[in-house]
């Protein structure tokens, strides 16, 4: 039960982080700020998100292996 709450908390935190960064990216894009910084931040966010998804998937695979 505790582990599920931890995973949910991580997902919520990441979602908030992505939303905030996406808003910053849109603001940067609308006001024609530095597009390079916006693209770099977007790449970083996508990378972090993919990393967490792969990590959780890998952990779930390990749990299944241990179970059976």
Reported as a single tens digit per residue, the pLDDT across 14-23 is 888 878 877 7
Say if CB 5 and CB 29 are below 8 A apart. Answer: no
C-alpha 29/C-alpha 39 separation (Å) is 10
- Between helix 2-30 and helix 35-67 the angle, nearest 10°, is 160
Give the model's pLDDT for residue 34. Answer: 67
pLDDT tens-digit map of 21-46: 777 777 777 777 666 776 777 788 78
CA neighbours closer than 13 Å in the CB half-sphere of residue 51: 8
- Give domain limits for the chain: 2-67
What pTM was estimated for this model as a whole? 0.41
Q: Given the structure tokens 């979602």, which residue do they identify?
A: 15
Q: Tokens standing for 41?
A: 């931040």
């Amino acid at each position: 039960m505790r582990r599920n709450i931890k995973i949910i908390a991580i997902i919520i935190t990441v979602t908030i982080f992505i939303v905030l960064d996406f808003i910053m990216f849109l603001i940067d894009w609308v006001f024609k700020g530095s597009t390079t910084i916006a693209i770099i931040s977007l790449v970083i966010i996508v990378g972090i998100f993919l990393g967490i998804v792969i990590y959780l998937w890998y952990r779930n695979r390990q749990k299944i292996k241990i179970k059976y």
